[in-house]
Structure 1
């Protein structure tokens, strides 16, 4: 069944205004106007973020939905896919955010709007640990796009986290996946957008 509903989850300190989120939204609107596309602004609390997503997709058809996530959003996408059985695409996905984000506890700003401040609280680490899906077999088809040049996350750890996924491992590149537009046709084909 073709995908009629697509969820996009942005990364830590990011927003729906990120380059990849905007490229995905624009591509879907242009080439697949019948698809419902949703990229919510995720709150800093992982538990609250997942509650917001669960509420937003509650009425979506499970057999015709898919999720794309970047960085921390990739970690969240694995959680969503595990619970819905839908296909998922992870872009330079965070593998162990509970470990990696511990040093960001405190006040943070967003990439797209440095004026915007939020607090990353110590209890969010336990919330991330509770959402970890490592060690479980995928509930739906997975595609992981990984840049070896990622300056934030270790590409070997990302590749190792998704052994059953179809993987596109890019030489060089960066965490932002600056050439994401090049991969959009493959992402859309993998997700079989309506």
Structure 2
């Protein structure tokens, strides 16, 4: 049985993101559209984790997480809890971000819907922080030109895992299409 992918989009993003769409197209081209999951993650961290856990709990076979930005942060917590592999694309390393960074009114890039992110939500994120990872379960993909997150924090936090560090780019991970074959290979597809 082929594996499945659970794609976790970033903060203020959605399944309509271009990376999520590229993975969906690749899975469809392989005849595996029914093994690709990309839910709308609620902006509240506990609710986002619950959404992902419902999908993880329904999987009979192998599942690999793919997380972008905040989705990479969630994927790390889920990978450690459920003994899963994960591909992390410019992931958030919470310890390197000022606690109030996300607090306030936020707007989803794709839907235009606004939501309030509170200090309580920041506390929920802090409760999901994984101080030590199991390196062999991860593939880290970062671009040095990420304007939102310091890629060096991810490189240090995920030391020992397979890392693809590309010069330039930005937070959207501009060379994602070029690395999609490596992502799918890591996922066992």
User: What is the TM-score normalised by the length of structure 1?
Assistant: 0.91
State the Cα deviation string for residues 78-106 of structure 1 (Å, max 9, x = none): 11111121111000000017834623312
Distance 2:33 2:18 in 1: 22
Mapping of 1:73-92 within 5 angstroms? 73-92=71-90
Distance 1:97 1:14 in 2: 22
Query: What is the CA-CA distance between 1:112 and the residue it aligns to?
Result: 1.5
1:172 and 2:171 equivalent? no
State the Cα deviation string for residues 116-156 of structure 1 (Å, max 9, x = none): 11111220111011101122434x52100010010001011
State the Cα deviation string for residues 40-78 of structure 1 (Å, max 9, x = none): 1111111111111111221213x6111000000000011
Does the 8 Å CA contact 1:91/1:146 hold for their aligned counterparts?
Answer: yes
What runs of 5+ residues in structure 1 fail to find an aligned partner? Answer: none
Does the 8 Å CA contact 2:9/2:41 hold for their aligned counterparts?
Answer: yes
Of 92, 106, 117, the match for 1:120: 117
Of 132, 136, 139, the match for 1:135: 132
What runs of 5+ residues in structure 2 fail to find an aligned partner? Answer: none
Mapping of 1:24-173 within 5 angstroms? 24-33=23-32, 36-61=35-60, 64-96=62-94, 99-100=97-98, 102-114=100-112, 116-138=113-135, 141-173=137-169
Q: Count the aligned residue pairs.
A: 189
Query: What is the CA-CA distance between 1:34 and the residue it aligns to?
Result: 6.3
Distance 1:169 1:35 in 2: 31
The list of structure 1 runs, each at least 4 consecutive aligned residues, that deviate by more than 6 angstroms after superposition, is none
Distance 1:141 1:21 in 2: 21
Distance 1:50 1:147 in 2: 26
Does the 8 Å CA contact 2:93/2:154 hold for their aligned counterparts?
Answer: yes
1:13 alignment partner in structure 2: 12
Does the 8 Å CA contact 1:142/1:164 hold for their aligned counterparts?
Answer: no
> SS state of the match for residue 144, structure 1?
strand
Does the 8 Å CA contact 1:17/1:112 hold for their aligned counterparts?
Answer: yes
Distance 2:98 2:172 in 1: 17
